Amino acid sequence: MNRSIRIAALATFSAALSLPVFAQTVKVTPLGGIDGEFCPQDRALIFEDPNGTRVLYDPGRTVAGATDPRLGKIDIILVSHMHGDHAGNAHNKAPNSGTCEAPDMSVSAMPNSNAANIAVAKKSKIVTGSEMPPFFAAKLKANGGDPANSILARFGGSVTVNGIRIATVTAMHSNGLDPDYIGGDLGKAMKEAGIAGDVGLATGYVVRFSNGLVAYLSGDTGITADQELVVRNHYNAKLAVMNIGDGFTTGPAEAAYVINDLVKPASVIASHANEVGTVSGKVRPGSKTEAFIKAVKVPVHVPLSGKTMEFDGAGKCTAGC
Ligand SMILES: [Zn+2]
């Protein structure tokens, strides 16, 4: 074979092998507070792999408990850290209760967490890093679930569940466990002293789906060197879910630096804005969400609750954006 024939044959071969897989999409559906909007408490996303596996990321307070009809089957739950707006110390009565500006968070999920309650009801695996797995194993056991469904993926390693490879990465944040999760005299004494339980460091995730899509889920974080060294250079993430809320995490300017200069994905989903990000589904002028979109060089997708977006293996949105 001469060189051009070899190249043509190689192209045909690789097209036959890799393109059909690459062209399959991961469906991302935000489970926020109000249908069609991006609201202050919104964190929860469902990722549906082309193989049918459904992954719930940071259920927080906008998933209306385990009976929320939007959940369907949940195979895997990811919890970046134990703060109440991520693990879910409380939640809404039902989707669309309250308003975007004043979300309903009237149902307590203590001492279990929304995440643990959903995992028990759905028989989901909970994959966490750091020292969170023993906490979730104990909550599963205490509520009639299987403690073996709490699985560890600590920094540097990964686990593969249902064909999806899950790794945790550093997040510069805190991860104190609210003493209400502990309860009893110990929990009461800790609360009075103003100290939290220790379940190790907060985390983010890098998830590789079966179509080749690699997604970085920042969790709550500041700017970290690992966003370049690990998330881009090692994992080569093509889609990022990036926190932009400021005060607690990177704000729009810092998050834009992370995306433009460190992670450099093909596209990004804004998250954790802690504001009314949209009105009637349109980005609110003067919002942090708008500032982030303007500062970022790649397409920014706003997670409108209930609106499914589809991403191919290269991190490009192919539908719903
Ligand atoms: Zn937090």
Cα(173) to ligand 1 centroid in Å equals: 7
Cα(316) to ligand 1 centroid in Å equals: 28
Contacts of 289 (CB under 8 A, 6+ apart): 38, 244, 252, 270, 273, 275, 277, 278, 283, 302
Cα(191) to ligand 1 centroid in Å equals: 18
* Predicted pLDDT at 35: 98
Spatial distance between the Cα atoms of 49 and 258, rounded to a whole number of angstroms:
26
Cα(25) to ligand 1 centroid in Å equals: 30
pLDDT confidence bin for 6, thresholds 50/70/90: low
Cα(81) to ligand 1 centroid in Å equals: 7
Q: Is 7 exposed, middle or buried (0-12, 13-18, 19+ CB in 10 A)?
A: exposed
Cα(219) to ligand 1 centroid in Å equals: 8
pLDDT digits (tens, 9 = 90+) for 207-241: 999 999 999 999 999 999 999 999 999 999 999 99
Both structure tokens of 125: 């695996």
- The number of residues making up the chain comes to 321
pLDDT digits (tens, 9 = 90+) for 40-86: 999 999 999 999 999 999 999 999 999 999 999 999 999 999 999 99
Cα(313) to ligand 1 centroid in Å equals: 29
pLDDT confidence bin for 23, thresholds 50/70/90: confident
* Predicted pLDDT at 1: 47
Average pLDDT along the chain:
95
